[in-house]
Amino acid sequence: MPKRGFSAEEFETRTSRAQEIMRRHELDALLVSSPPNVRYFTGFDSQFWESPTRPWFVVVPLGGNPIAVIPEIGAPEMALTWIKDIRTWPAPVPEDDGISLLKSTLDSLPKRFGRIGAELGREMAIRMPVSDFLKLRD
Task: Give the C-alpha separation, 10 to 24, whole Å.
Answer: 22
Stated pTM of the model = 0.91
Q: Which fold has domain 8-137?
A: Creatine Amidinohydrolase; Chain A, domain 1 (3.40.350)
pLDDT, one tens digit for every residue, the chain (138 residues)? 345 578 999 999 999 999 999 999 999 999 999 999 999 999 998 877 777 777 899 999 999 999 999 999 999 999 999 999 999 999 888 889 899 999 999 999 999 999 999 998 888 778 887 888 888 876
Strands in 29-32's sheet, in edge-to-edge order, are 85-89, 67-71, 57-61, 29-32, 116-118
Domain spans of the chain, in order of start? 8-137
Answer whether 16's CB lies under 8 Å from 61's CB: no
